Amino acid sequence: MSTIASFGVGTFRLQGQTVIDSVRTALELGYRAVDTAQIYGNEADVGQALSESGVNRAELFVTTKIWTDNYAKDKLVPSLRDSLQKLRTDYVDLTLIHWPAPANDVALTEYMEALAEAKALGLTRQIGISNFNIALTKQAIAAVGKKEIATNQIELSPYLQNDKLTAFLKEQDIAVTSYMTLAYGKVLKDPVLVKLAEKHQATVAQVTLAWALQLGYAVIPSSTKRENLASNLLARDLKLDADDMAQIAALERNGREVSPDGLAPAWD
């Protein structure tokens, strides 16, 4: 199975000095994985933070995602070269197709093959997908082989546990990366999670991230506050028991936060 970083810092919705400070602080605190995307419009800022951090490139795990405008065979590789320039690096560790975008006019096989070509050229160490359902993941596997797909980065939280999809990915030996693990902060006031946090003398965010990590998922929470970035990292040391996990499993409510028209698939 491909190895992806299990704990990173996300940069969705952060721009300019805000994202530079967030990434710089995360690296100071010990984070080594950073997740960005072409559409976030912050790759150059992230690149500045990475290059000014003094952290050796070999220690970093940098992920970016190809935007739908760049899926065509003649656009994908040039767009990734552009991303690398912004990120001030010769390669990224992981490049994902951001959305399956069924309304897009580029065939899945075409963009998966273009992504595999980017890997063959050494522009990215690993490749993967994001926001793919089971049927589309099967098509991606058919296009490039399951060993080539390092992860499927999906929205996943105590309120949206995606059991069918995660079971399928596990079967295929494709790692799950969870984004929106805190459901835009909605889970932070959940009475069940608040109780568990009290039991473990932890924060609700720590409990939620620990739950995802214990299920074997990678997580990429973002924050602009040093104390939250530091606190989130401690989730790695928090061990939940079987009863805790069962209580969180019972919070499932299909609470999806992100499903843009034209980009999202028919969810499982």
Written as six digits, the tokens of 2 are: 């491909």
pLDDT tens digits, residue range 143-182? 999 999 999 999 999 999 999 999 999 999 999 999 999 9
Max distance between CA atoms of the chain, in angstroms, equals: 54
Give burial (CB, 10 Å; 0-12/13-18/19+) of 103. Answer: exposed
Residue 52: the pLDDT is: 97
Q: Given pLDDT bands bounded at 50, 70 and 90, which one contains residue 193?
A: very high
pLDDT confidence tier of residue 245, bands split at 50, 70 and 90? very high
Long-range contacts of residues 28-31, Cβ cutoff 8 Å, at least 24 apart: 28/53, 29/226, 29/229, 29/230, 29/233, 30/233, 31/7, 31/229, 31/233
- Which one of the listed residues 40, 71, 179, 217 is annotated catalytic? 40
Percent of all residues in the chain with a pLDDT value above 90, rounded to a whole number: 99
Once rounded to an integer, what is the mean pLDDT over residues 73-86? 98
Mean per-residue pLDDT over the chain, rounded: 97
Calpha distance 16→42 (Å, rounded): 7
Beta bridge partner(s), residue 97: 66, 129
Query: Is 40 annotated as catalytic?
Result: yes
One-letter identity of residue 2: S
Find all residues with CB under 8 Å of 37, minimum gap 6, and list them. Answer: 12, 43, 64, 65, 67, 96, 98
CATH among 3.20.20.100, 1.10.357.10, 3.40.50.12780, 3.40.1350.10 for 9-185+215-224: 3.20.20.100
pLDDT for residue 14 is more than 70:
yes
What was the pLDDT predicted at 200? 98
Buried b / exposed e across 68-89, counting CB within 10 Å, b at 16+?
bebbbeebbbebbeebbebbbb
Query: Does residue 1 have a pLDDT over 70?
Result: no
What gap in Å lies between CA 135 and CA 139, rounded to an integer? 6
Q: In angstroms, rounded to a whole number, what is the distance separating the alpha carbons of residues 248 and 161?
A: 10
Domain ranges of the chain: 9-185+215-224
Q: What is the pLDDT of residue 3?
A: 86
| pLDDT band of 135, cuts 50, 70, 90 | very high
pLDDT of amino acid 2 = 61
Q: Which residues are annotated as a binding site for substrate?
A: 98
